[in-house]
Amino acid sequence: MSNPALSAVMTIGEVIDDFLAQKRIAVVGVSRNPADFSRSLFRELHQRGYDLVPVNPEVSYIEDELCFARVQDIQPPVEAALIMTPPQATEKVVRDCAAAGIKRVWLHRGAGQGAVSQEALDFCRERDLQIVPGYCPFMFLPDTGFIHRAHGLVLKLIGAYPR
């Protein structure tokens, strides 16, 4: 099941740009805790005009938005999924994304392993899903905060910034 529009010939920078061009995005694993980083990112993306759909089976609403237990339950469907789960939960989430017809997934990583797992990466590649394997969206948003710009600059200096 190959999708030429999501071809593997895209650079990671192009995949990131394409993901951020989507307007309706599921945020899977967004925390119940209002002070959590995932909530900060959720609020920032929402303020920038994204139509965000929170996914967390343990809560009904996040930031006044109806929260879903699984991506398959979202109606109308989303165009992409930002995954902020622990790595041991990520493979199930990307399987859910594939079942829901979501072709664009971003496995969030700020520090440490983030949501990235080898099993999830393998599954996405086998199913020809367009994947951002790490990174934090804050680094790629225009006019973002200093710490996020600095993070991007460090990656550029060490040659690890996605192109």
Closest C-alpha to 28, from 70, 87, 78:
70
What is the model's pLDDT at position 151? 56
Helix/strand/coil (H/E/C) assignment for every residue in 125-145: HHCCCEEEECCCHHHHCCCCC
Query: pTM for this one?
Result: 0.85
- What is the pLDDT averaged over residues 12-24? 94
What percent of the chain lies above the pLDDT cut of 90? 69
Q: Quickly state the pLDDT bin for 23 (edges 50, 70, 90).
A: very high
- Whether the CB-CB separation of 55 and 86 falls below 8 Å is answered with no
Task: For residue 35, give the amino acid letter.
Answer: A
Arithmetic mean of pLDDT over the chain = 87
22-26, 106-110, 129-133: the lowest-pLDDT one: 106-110
- Whether the CB-CB separation of 82 and 56 falls below 8 Å is answered with no
pLDDT in tens, 78-122: 999 999 999 999 999 999 999 999 999 999 987 767 899 999 999
44 versus 8: the higher-pLDDT residue is 44
What is the model's pLDDT at position 113? 77
Closest C-alpha to 30, from 69, 88, 73, 76:
69
pLDDT at 43 over 70: yes
